Amino acid sequence: MPAQSFTEQFDSLRGELPGAALPWLRELRDAGIERFGSLGLPGPKEESWKYTRLRPLEQTGFAPAPAADTVSIDRLPALFPQSGMGHRVIFVNGRLRQCISFLPGELPEGAELGGLAEALGRDPEGMAERLGRIGRLDGQSLLALNTAMMRDGLLLRVKAGVTIPLPIEVVYVGAAGAEPISYHPRNLIVLEPGSRATVVEHHVGLGEGAYFANSVTEILVQEDAELHHYKVQEEGPEAVHIATLHARLERGAVYDSFTLSTGAKLARNEASVQLAGPGAECHLNGAYMLRGKQHWDTTSVIDHLTPHTTSREVFKGVVDDEARAVFQGRITVHPGAQKSNGHQLSKALLLSDRAEVDAKPELEIYADDVKCSHGAATGDLDHEALFYLRSRGIPESTARHMLIEAFLGETINGIAAEGLCPALMASVGHWLSRATNGERS
């Protein structure tokens, strides 16, 4: 009974979790474990889990991650080609590693960057005010589990009017040995009015061990602030990666995100974005490349709560071997949210006869003066384009790679962060360089 075992884990850990002495946090954790206990792991009876089963969690026990051994910095892949391009914060098995993190030069005044555990010790009142405040809780059993078990995570707070010019690279390393482990990062990003920041998450696995990373990110983007949030998910082959994100955007705020996923055995990104002020705008984009028996799921809910709000969501992916991709996206325009503008697109290429794509793009509209649309398409590579390239002498495998790169490149090239596009395109190239089914057949 793994659900039971998480509860048991909590019982034995509760005394040593960060902030154990804080009454408000104790309450928060207790409420979390209670909700998780009553909900259990999400199952197929829940509409939003129709296509994704958490089998590894049902079958395997994941012990709490121990305070990890040292990880040497030169073993960590870097997204940006040369160091000095950004601030770097590193978490290993969910815990901040100060010694291998670095901040080139000073952060601007008014920017607070660090770890959750440390902040709970330093500023418990401030954390009480901000932690667990954003997003809905109903039905979210993995969020509840995270709330009970959270230890550490990224804390970023940017004061009004402050811009952090360099991107903040956050590396999450999963390093499991023979024993499956679990950890529950909890991130909190608050951008006060008029501030700007860029956060680049990089999730990597070291070794082949199984681990369960159950992260939750709370984001508040206040008036006219702008957050660029990128994520590269290259977890290990036996990893279960669950990322729940709740963002709230106030008047004129911009939240711009892109996720590239190639890793993990089972990955689910669940995002809930509330457009809570006129002029708020969110971009929720991504690309994925799957092979083997990988299962990838992105599920999003975008709520247009006020008039004059905009959302854009584009996901593109390629699925090979016996892998399966799931895209579920809902745009809800609430009563009175006139002049809302929402668009959603999911496109997938199947590269093998045993691959599968399931898409469920949803529109739920309760206001009339809106422009909302969605599209979804699945298919194979364009045969005519392939033939055209080959007729010009390009070998088939190269032609296939070119078409896949072009297909994914369309979304990746829209990324604003300097230096990141080439890194992501390189990641695409790297993935393709390992043989795809298309070539074998």
Partner 1 sequence: MAVSSETLETVRSVTGGEYKYGFVTDIESDFAPRGLNEDIVRFISAKKEEPDWLLQWRLKAYRFWTGLEHEEPKWSKVQHPPIDFQDAYYYAAPKEAKDGPKSLDEVDPELLRTYEKLGIPLREQEVLAGVAVDAVFDSISVATTYKEKLAELGIVFCPFSEAVKEHPDLVQKYLGSVVPYSDNFYATLNSAVFSDGSFVYIPPGVRCPMELSTYFRINAANTGQFERTLIIADRDSYVSYLEGCTAPMRDENQLHAAVVELVTHDNAEIKYATIQNWYPGDKDGKGGIYNFVTKRGACRGRNSKISWTQVETGSAITWKYPSVILQGDNSIGEFYSVAVTNNYQQADTGTKMIHIGKNTKSRIISKGISAGHGQNTYRGLVRMLGKAEGARNYTQCDSLLIGDRCGAHTVPYIECKNRSAIVEHEATTSKISEDQLFYCRQRGLGEEDAVALVVNGFCREVLQQLPMEFAVEAQKLVGISLEGSVG
When asked if residue 396 is in the footprint of partner 1 (CB under 8 A), the reply is no
Which of 167, 206, 211, 222 is closest to 185 using CA atoms? 211
CA pair distance 367, 275, nearest whole angstrom: 15
- Is residue 2 within 8 A of residue 8, CB to CB? The reply is no
When asked if residue 356 is in the footprint of partner 1 (CB under 8 A), the reply is yes
**Candidates 130-138, 293-301, 367-375, 411-419; binding stretch for partner 1 (CB under 8 A):** 367-375
Q: Which residue has the tokens 């954003």?
A: 134
When asked if residue 403 is in the footprint of partner 1 (CB under 8 A), the reply is no
When asked if residue 352 is in the footprint of partner 1 (CB under 8 A), the reply is yes
- Residue 48 Cβ, how far from partner 1 at the closest point, in Å? 12
Name which position in 58, 129, 179, 362 contacts partner 1 (CB under 8 A). Answer: 362
SS3 letters across 387-429: HHHHHCCCCHHHHHHHHHHHHHHHHHCCCCCCCHHHHHHHHHH
When asked if residue 302 is in the footprint of partner 1 (CB under 8 A), the reply is no
Contact track, partner 1, 368-387, x by CB under 8 A: xxxxxxxxxxxxx-------
- Pick between residue 177 and residue 278 the one whose CB is nearest to partner 1: 278
In order of 67, 71, 82, 92, 203, the CA distances from 206 in angstroms are: 15, 9, 21, 10, 10
Angle formed by the axes of helices 383-391 and 396-412, nearest 10°: 120
Touching partner 1, residues 46-85 (CB under 8 A): 47
- Pick between residue 365 and residue 425 the one whose CB is nearest to partner 1: 365
Exposure class string for 147-168: b at 16+ Cβ within 10 A, else e: bbbbbbbbbbbbbeebebebbb
When asked if residue 439 is in the footprint of partner 1 (CB under 8 A), the reply is no
CA pair distance 325, 291, nearest whole angstrom: 10
Reading the block at residue 106, the tokens are 């000073």
When asked if residue 365 is in the footprint of partner 1 (CB under 8 A), the reply is yes
**Candidates 183-191, 204-212, 365-373, 416-424; binding stretch for partner 1 (CB under 8 A):** 365-373
Angle formed by the axes of helices 141-149 and 2-13, nearest 10°: 20
Name which position in 112, 123, 358, 439 contacts partner 1 (CB under 8 A). Answer: 358
Name which position in 90, 119, 351, 404 contacts partner 1 (CB under 8 A). Answer: 351
When asked if residue 404 is in the footprint of partner 1 (CB under 8 A), the reply is no
- Residue 141 Cβ, how far from partner 1 at the closest point, in Å? 20
- Residue 143 Cβ, how far from partner 1 at the closest point, in Å? 23
- Residue 176 Cβ, how far from partner 1 at the closest point, in Å? 32
Residues sharing a CB contact under 8 Å with residue 44, sequence separation 6 or more, in sequence order = 50, 53
Which of 254, 187, 263, 201 is closest to 230 using CA atoms? 201
- Residue 286 Cβ, how far from partner 1 at the closest point, in Å? 18
Name which position in 13, 63, 367, 421 contacts partner 1 (CB under 8 A). Answer: 367
- Residue 253 Cβ, how far from partner 1 at the closest point, in Å? 24
When asked if residue 398 is in the footprint of partner 1 (CB under 8 A), the reply is no
- Residue 353 Cβ, how far from partner 1 at the closest point, in Å? 6
- Pick between residue 161 and residue 375 the one whose CB is nearest to partner 1: 375
Q: Give the binding-site size for partner 1 (rule: CB under 8 A).
A: 36
DSSP 293: T
When asked if residue 138 is in the footprint of partner 1 (CB under 8 A), the reply is no
What does the CA dihedral 73, 78, 81, 83 come to, rounded to 10 degrees? -40
In order of 18, 154, 162, 319, the CA distances from 89 in angstroms are: 19, 8, 20, 32
3-state secondary structure of 37: helix
CA pair distance 325, 328, nearest whole angstrom: 10
Contact track, partner 1, 21-50, x by CB under 8 A: --------------------------x---
The greatest distance separating any two alpha carbons of the chain, rounded to the nearest whole angstrom, comes to: 71
- Residue 440 Cβ, how far from partner 1 at the closest point, in Å? 13
Residue 321: left if φ>0, alpha if ψ -120 to 50, beta else—which one? left
Name which position in 60, 163, 338, 397 contacts partner 1 (CB under 8 A). Answer: 338
When asked if residue 290 is in the footprint of partner 1 (CB under 8 A), the reply is no
Q: How many CA atoms lie within 13 A of 26 on its CB side?
A: 8
- Residue 58 Cβ, how far from partner 1 at the closest point, in Å? 23
- Residue 332 Cβ, how far from partner 1 at the closest point, in Å? 9
- Residue 46 Cβ, how far from partner 1 at the closest point, in Å? 11
CA pair distance 71, 65, nearest whole angstrom: 14
When asked if residue 336 is in the footprint of partner 1 (CB under 8 A), the reply is yes
- Residue 308 Cβ, how far from partner 1 at the closest point, in Å? 15
**What residue ranges bind partner 1 (CB under 8 A)?**
47, 335-336, 338, 348, 350-380
